[in-house]
């Protein structure tokens, strides 16, 4: 018995791991420029820009910490400073990712940390390149006259954007063009393409090393940690499918940056793979189109309605594709009372070969009379599984679902990350904690009901059947189905906990539709079976 239980547990584990493996096979639609735009909100450098020297905090008005980046170009008003902490770290709020993820990891490994002078030179090069990129796209900034307001991503110099009275400088140089730090450019005629390969960063490192010496600059080990950390963060983000250019998402360490995304075409999707073109992009396109049509501001309400309509459409199409399989499953539920009668006639079928053969013959005859094909169920699973994985990939990849929030819950956040975040005033639902909890409980309950409803209907129909004798074969089959059903339930609930909240909404809606489908089909099948029984 223990061996069989272990086999079932390993089977469920294999199913879970298989689903995760297949889900990772859905292509990431983020372009190199998308990735660079996502990277900058995390690693913005260490330098803070202000107008007039008087705006520089007194503790930073000394050599090496405050400077005029464009003084040689005649700009006497723009000042910059690099805040430092008591332990010698970088104090700018924007530098938290650099401090906590990159420098901390480098120190732990015993690698040398670049000097303040290096970061000062690097940030100046990034700013100059961003200004040049802005001018190449139609702006007319001058190093001689550019102001801190035109540079800073927010209206306050040293902030992350969550502070009171802080607003976004939507078109500022660093917010719009800070991505130049992580790319290399290639010009072919009038077309400029970008590669997310840190090409500019490597080039600037070499230039800075020539100016201030190798001892002040990052070594190869630090460079590797820097690049790998940012790539790892960015590559885990997949929400880049959009039908129109715009700013989407919740990025950066505070999750409050929207970034520019390039338009994704259906041709791009086919270039990624068969299922990407056939299912992933159409589903993402539908969510994108409906969300923007119903709520152009992407506040969250439009996305919920888009998910409801998309789920309904996907379920209808899936039902049409698997109609035979679904019909046979419902027929199987409907004939359970007749199966129970047959099984009661052969209580020793598990040990008596003659009884086993007669049981099998009567069961097959019953299936044939009712037009049930056992093979169709298998075909249905083959169709449903890639659709499940592709829809999963579409919702993960949708840029609009990574934007906006519902009752303070961001649809791109995982339920797990929200529920485990009990910092600040979480109990006031400021981060959507209660919303996430209600969604998780609701999704779990609805999934349970969707699984149990067919069983309850069958039990109600067979309740009047007299259980004269036990049937080991029937009991064994029932136990197997019970393990499979509960295994799939646990699997779905776990994924709903670990995946973005949008998937939780999708599964909750899907469970409601499944229950409705079960009730409608079972009602129809019962009437048909009643008519058929009158003929015999």
Torsion angle of C-alpha atoms 34, 38, 43, 44, degrees rounded to 10: 80
Element (DSSP H or E) covering residue 149 = helix 148-151
What letter does residue 83 receive in the DSSP assignment? -
12-13-14 Cα angle (round to 5): 90
Cβ atoms within 10 Å of 255's Cβ, excluding its own: 16
pLDDT digits (tens, 9 = 90+) for 396-417: 899 999 988 888 888 878 888 8
pLDDT for position 258: 93
Reported as a single tens digit per residue, the pLDDT across 317-353 is 888 877 777 777 767 766 777 877 887 888 777 777 8
- Number of residues that make up the chain: 536
Please tell me the distance from the alpha carbon of residue 119 to that of residue 403, in angstroms, as a whole number.
32
For 521, the 3-state DSSP assignment is helix
CA 451, CA 483: separation in Å to the nearest integer? 12
The pLDDT value recorded for residue 352 is 79
CA 393/CA 280 separation, integer angstroms: 6
> Residue 363's CB: how many other CB atoms inside 10 A?
17
CA atoms within 13 A on the CB side of 282: 11
pLDDT digits (tens, 9 = 90+) for 104-153: 999 999 999 999 999 999 999 999 999 999 999 999 999 999 999 999 99
Q: What is the C-alpha separation between 271 and 268, in angstroms, rounded?
A: 5
Do residues 415 and 440 touch, judged by C-beta distance below 8 A? yes
Decide: 183 and 199 in contact? Cβ < 8 Å. Answer: yes
CA atoms of 484 and 457, how far apart (whole Å) = 18
Instruction: Please give the Cα distance from 371 to 335 (Å, whole number).
Output: 11
Worst-scoring range by mean pLDDT, 70-74, 182-186, 196-200, 392-396? 392-396
CA 284/CA 275 separation, integer angstroms: 12
pLDDT band at 305 (very low <50, low <70, confident <90, very high): very high
Q: What is the pLDDT of residue 63?
A: 67
- Cα gap 437→496, rounded to integer Å: 12
pLDDT digits (tens, 9 = 90+) for 15-60: 555 555 555 568 999 999 999 999 999 999 999 999 998 888 887 8
Q: How distant, in Å, are the alpha carbons of 33, 40, 180, 223, 257 from that of 198?
A: 12, 12, 9, 10, 21
Is the pTM higher than 0.75? The answer reads yes
Give the model's pLDDT for residue 64.
Answer: 66
Per cent of the chain over pLDDT 90 is 48
Which residue in the block uniquely carries the two structure tokens 């909404």?
A: 505
What sign has the CA pseudo-torsion 508, 509, 513, 519?
positive
Per the model's pLDDT, the better-predicted residue between 425 and 147 turns out to be: 147
Q: How many Cα neighbours within 13 Å face the side chain of 338?
A: 18
DSSP 77: S
CA pair distance 478, 278, nearest whole angstrom: 37
Positive or negative, the Cα torsion across 125, 130, 131, 135? positive
- Alpha-helical (H) ranges within 273-322 are 274-275, 281-294, 301-321
Average pLDDT over residues 263-281: 94
């Amino acid at each position: 018995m223990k061996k069989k239980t272990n086999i079932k547990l390993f089977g469920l584990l294999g199913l879970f791991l298989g689903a995760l493996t297949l889900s990772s096979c859905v292509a990431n639609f983020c372009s190199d420029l998308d990735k660079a735009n996502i990277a900058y909100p995390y690693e913005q450098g260490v330098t803070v820009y202000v107008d007039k020297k008087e705006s520089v905090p007194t503790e930073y008005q000394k050599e090496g910490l405050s400077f005029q980046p464009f003084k040689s170009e005649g700009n006497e008003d723009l000042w910059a400073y690099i805040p430092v902490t008591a332990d010698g770290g970088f104090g700018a709020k924007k530098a938290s990712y650099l401090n906590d993820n990159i420098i901390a990891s480098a120190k732990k490994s015993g690698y040398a940390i670049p000097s303040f002078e290096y970061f000062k030179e690097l940030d100046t090069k990034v700013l100059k390149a961003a200004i040049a990129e802005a001018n190449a796209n139609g702006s007319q900034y001058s190093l001689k006259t550019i102001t801190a307001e035109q540079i800073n991503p927010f209206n306050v110099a040293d902030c992350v954007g969550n502070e009171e009275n802080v607003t976004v400088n939507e078109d500022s140089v660093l917010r719009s063009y800070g991505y130049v730090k992580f790319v290399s450019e290639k010009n072919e005629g009038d077309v400029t393409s970008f590669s997310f390969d840190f090409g500019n960063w490597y080039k600037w490192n070499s230039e800075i090393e020539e100016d201030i010496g190798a001892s002040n600059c990052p070594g190869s080990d630090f460079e590797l940690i820097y690049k790998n950390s940012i790539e790892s963060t960015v590559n885990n983000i997949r929400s880049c499918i959009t039908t129109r250019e715009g700013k989407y998402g919740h990025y950066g360490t505070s999750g409050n940056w929207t970034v520019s995304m390039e338009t994704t075409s259906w041709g791009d999707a086919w270039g990624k793979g068969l299922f990407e073109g056939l299912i992933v992009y159409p589903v993402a396109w539908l969510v994108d189109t409906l969300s923007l049509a119903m709520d152009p501001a992407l506040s969250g309400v439009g996305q919920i309605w888009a998910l409801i309509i998309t789920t309904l459409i996907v379920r209808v199409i899936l039902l049409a594709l698997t109609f035979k399989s679904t019909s046979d499953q419902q027929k199987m539920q409907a004939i359970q009372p007749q199966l129970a009668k047959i099984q009661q006639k052969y209580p020793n079928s598990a040990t008596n070969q003659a009884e086993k053969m007669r049981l099998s013959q009567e069961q097959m005859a019953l299936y044939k009379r009712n037009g049930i094909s056992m093979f169709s169920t298998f075909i249905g699973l083959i169709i449903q599984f890639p659709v499940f994985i592709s829809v999963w990939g579409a919702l993960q990849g949708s840029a609009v679902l990574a934007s906006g929030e519902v009752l303070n819950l961001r649809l791109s956040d995982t339920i797990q990350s929200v529920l485990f975040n009990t910092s600040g005033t979480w109990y006031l639902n400021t981060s959507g904690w209660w919303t996430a909890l209600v969604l998780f409980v609701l999704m779990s309950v609805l999934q349970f009901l969707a699984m149990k409803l067919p069983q309850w209907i069958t039990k109600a129909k067979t309740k009047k059947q007299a259980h004269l004798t036990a049937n080991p074969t029937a009991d064994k089959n029932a136990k197997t189905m019970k393990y499979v059903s509960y295994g799939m339930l646990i699997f779905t609930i776990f994924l709903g906990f670990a995946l973005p909240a949008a998937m939780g909404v999708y599964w909750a809606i899907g469970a409601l539709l499944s229950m409705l489908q079960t009730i409608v089909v079972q009602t129809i099948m019962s009437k048909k079976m009643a008519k058929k029984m009158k003929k015999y």
